[in-house]
Structure 1
């Protein structure tokens, strides 16, 4: 399924599409799990965890904000998500594309876009800016659960931005200080607005995946006005073998992790908290 060309493109550009990774059956199961979790939130409740141990993420949440409706941390709350972790090729694909010798699941975020509100386009950003982990093998594994053409909010990436040696000072971080190795957020926005910016658009069929490097600058277009249906993307974050715990004053504080005695700065997170899902 994964060719040397896929691996080379990911390394060079910071994003790669692999077609047909997930069958129609997996797509249907994941969509049903998304809708089941959304229905619990619609009742004003929080989905209960069904996965034993391992993940140390906060409870599931649902909110409407930048990029439309988001569901987060729902994988531990539905049996089909848990089965997908155990039985699908997801972890192996992440390992092969990143070159990691082992892969652990970290967290999930599902993005549901409907209608055609321009504000529902995901703004330009990259993922690593607030991560309390560092490493090359911290990708976002983006799964199309609906077809995504040029009219249905496709992803955009700035090719080669994965090779940046710095982070950007996120608007979500505290603004009363800065740290060495961070660049102003305005520089990120200026790069994608430049006339020579190498911006790529990624169409996908349901079951296709994008792997996005944590430093790759990316966004989405809005949906076209009058387009029926919705655009659903299920994303998961993974921890590869080069990743270590390295929070700083500008990274996010994650409940259950930031004060956990087993999380040691400069070391890989323990397998008791983040079980290995795949080894080479």
Structure 2
């Protein structure tokens, strides 16, 4: 179901990730598993207008030609069992160099193109760390393709090495900019790319391919070209919490984050508890053999 890697392979991937801020992992999950998750995501999307059961953390977001679905992992066994699989956590931990790794949440992106056959909304240049209440370098996103992803249907693109050069937190693309007072305005990266000041990094992906993204890396996606070319693009993104991650919310983070109240998470605290399950632990003492 999930590809396993040797220590040497993980070290090679870590070197690329640390240098560039993003990494392509071909065939991380079996295409049949990707199809199974895609079918389930489609079922959930079809229920978007139905009442959400009381106590469920699942939520939906919509834009022109796109939909997002959050927090399937907590009460959907298919997603829970897949994402908390030890092999997946071991791979993420090995690449980012974490001794302990906890899972945070999932976010499914569906880019379908507009209903009139035109292009759908894209995703503006941004980095994830600015919108996260958690802070740390070991806070990657693992993006897994459930369909093919190309330039025409909204593949992700990255500003190469930008995780090393950002001077602070850039205000996330939002309709409520005052919630992010004090954040930096993001530069015009399209102009920087056109002038050769910055370099773009991106990969076409097949179902089952994955991308690991550093929390400070600037990235975005063009809108799905819709009926012109490409077909739809669906991917499930997952967030992970490593050794240096702490709860350090700034003025933009919502106090209604699922699991926050239940976890009694104090400012400066490390994630813990059932809402942030431990999926990989190299610090646990080995069991001694019976005498």
**TM-score, L = length of structure 1:** 0.85
Tell me how far 1:270 sits from its aligned partner.
Answer: 2.1
Q: Distance in 2 between the 1:47 and 1:159 partners? A: 42
**1:40 maps to which of 38, 47, 62:** 47
Q: Structure 1 residue 185: deviation in Å?
A: 3.0
The 8 Å contact of residues 10 and 91 in structure 2, kept in 1 or not, is answered as: no
CA contact 1:126–1:218 (8 Å) conserved in 2: yes
Residues 194 and 263 of structure 1: CA distance in aligned 2, closer, same or farther (over 3 Å)? farther
Give SS of 1:71's match. strand
What is the match of residue 52 of structure 1? none
1:174–1:250: 8 Å Cα contact kept in structure 2? no
Give the alignment partner of residue 73 of structure 1, picking from 25, 46, 71: 71
1:100 aligns with 2:98: yes
Structure 1's 245 and 191: CA in aligned 2 closer, same or farther, altered over 3 A? Answer: farther
**After superposition, where does 1:46-195 map in structure 2 within 5 Å?**
46=52, 59-65=57-63, 68-87=66-85, 89-115=87-113, 117-163=118-164, 164-172=166-174, 175=178, 178-179=181-182, 182-186=183-187, 191=192, 194-195=195-196
Q: Deviations over 1:243-273 (max 9, x none)?
A: 0011122334334555567212222122344
Q: Which residue of 2 aligns with 1:55?
A: none
Distance 1:252 1:128, change over 3 A: farther
How far has the Cα of 1:6 moved from its partner?
Answer: 1.3
Shift of 1:241: 1.4
Give the RMSD, CA atoms, in angstroms. Answer: 2.6
Between stretches 8-17 and 194-203, larger displacement belongs to 194-203
Structure 1 residues 137-190: Cα deviation after superposition (integer angstroms, max 9, x where no partner):
1111100011123322211100111113411133546527744xx422346676
- Match of residue 27 from structure 2: 20
Deviations for 1:2-29, whole angstroms, at most 9, x for unmatched residues? 4322111111111000111101231122
Deviation digits for residues 46-97 of structure 1 (CA, Å, limit 9, x no counterpart): 2677xxxxxxxx7211221277211111222322101102336321121111
In 2, distance between residues paired with 1:236 and 1:261?
20
Structure 1 residues 146, 102: CA separation in 2 closer, same or farther (over 3 Å shift)? same
Q: Which moved more, 1:79-88 or 1:123-132?
A: 79-88
Q: Which residue of 1 aligns with 2:277?
A: 275
**Distance change >3 Å, CA 228–CA 246, structure 1 → 2:** closer
Q: Is the 2:107–2:237 contact (alpha carbons within 8 Å) kept by the matching residues of 1?
A: yes
In structure 1, the residue corresponding to 2:198 is in which secondary structure? coil
Considering only CA atoms, is the larger Rg found in Structure 1 or Structure 2? 2
Q: Partners of 1:112 and 1:215 in 2: how far apart?
A: 23
Deviation at 1:121, TM superposition (A): 1.7
Gaps of 5+ in 1: 50-57
Residue 227 of structure 1: aligned partner: 229
Whole-angstrom distance in 2 between the partners of 1:162 and 1:219: 14
Q: Is the 8 A contact 2:109 2:235 kept in 1?
A: yes
